[in-house]
Amino acid sequence: MDVNSSESTTKRPLILVSNDDGITSLGIRTLVELMQTLGEVVVVAPNSPQSGMGHAITIGEPLRLYSTEIFDEVDEYECSGTPADCVKLAKCYVLKDRAPDLVVSGINHGSNSSISVLYSGTMSAAIEAAVEGIPAIGFSLCDYRLEADFSHVGEYVLAITRAALQNGIPKGVALNVNIPSIDNGPIKGIKVCRQAHAKWQEKFDYRKDPYGRGYFWMAGEFVNYDHDKEDTDEWALKQGYVSVVPCKYDLTSYEVLDNISSWGL
């Protein structure tokens, strides 16, 4: 199998870290500290929260990039753009000719399982790296709080990252890793699974501003159509397992090509 492998690298791997909650978030601090035990770390991350940015990139507007001093012994930058912008700018400008051995994104404050992968800025950084042919993993903790408890994640983040560096991630794929909140009990292990068939059922809260004009807040409920399917990320997380879903950026639905072709267009 054609893999993005760094097995032949004898020196410490070069690891690019990004996220979507912004460079000052607790999640990226946790991830940087963990990655420092494995390799040389460079951080390029948004200067503001970018949750829900999907795979947005900045077209038609300038990008800013400034060095920061948030972490210990890390080459680090904050960027005015999206997570995908951060990976592009890191590759082309910050790292120039040094290709990272791995891109990791997160640790997101909140789940990016099942359909949320579409809206996820965390995963867009990982998928952007995969497009560039770089092994990549997005990590998310199922705890939305700013002060989320990351105390239990290290073992799983390191195990998955080490395995990815050793085995290589197949080309065209980025891993979507979600970790249950420790509030729901001890973690049972790691499951490789598929994206559950689910969606957000939105409910918009309509209000009036102080000037009498209407506005909406998006809210919603998560609906899992695959609630009884044991091969899905939602099932794994609910049972207390870390979920690992390999995600690809070739969106072609090969299964229906014949069906559409039969329309006789």
Q: Tell me how far, at minimum, the Cβ of 118 lies from a second copy, in Å.
A: 5
Q: Tell me how far, at minimum, the Cβ of 128 lies from a second copy, in Å.
A: 8
Q: Tell me how far, at minimum, the Cβ of 13 lies from a second copy, in Å.
A: 17
Bridge partners (DSSP) of residue 232 are 194
Residue 186, Cβ density class (10 Å: 0-12 exposed, 13-18 middle, ≥19 buried): exposed
Count of residues making up the chain: 265
Return d(Cα 157, Cα 180) in angstroms, integer.
Answer: 12
Nearer to a second copy, 32 or 126 (CB): 126
Nearer to a second copy, 74 or 127 (CB): 127
Nearer to a second copy, 73 or 110 (CB): 110
Three-class SS of residue 253?
Answer: coil
Nearer to a second copy, 99 or 159 (CB): 159
Q: Tell me how far, at minimum, the Cβ of 190 lies from a second copy, in Å.
A: 4
Q: Tell me how far, at minimum, the Cβ of 175 lies from a second copy, in Å.
A: 7
Nearer to a second copy, 31 or 53 (CB): 53
Residue 91: what residue type? K
Contact 114, 195 (CB under 8 A): yes
Q: Tell me how far, at minimum, the Cβ of 96 lies from a second copy, in Å.
A: 11
Q: Tell me how far, at minimum, the Cβ of 40 lies from a second copy, in Å.
A: 23
Q: Exposure pattern of 106-138 as b/e (b: 16+ CB <10 Å)?
A: bbbbbbbbbbbbebbbbbbbbbbbbbbebbbbb
Tokens 């009036």 belong to which residue? 208
Return d(Cα 77, Cα 89) in angstroms, integer.
Answer: 10
Bridge partners (DSSP) of residue 169 are 4
Element containing residue 263 per DSSP (H, E): none
Nearer to a second copy, 39 or 138 (CB): 138
Nearer to a second copy, 150 or 241 (CB): 241
Q: Which residues make Cβ contacts (< 8 Å) with residue 153, sequence separation at least 6? A: 30, 34, 107, 139, 141, 179
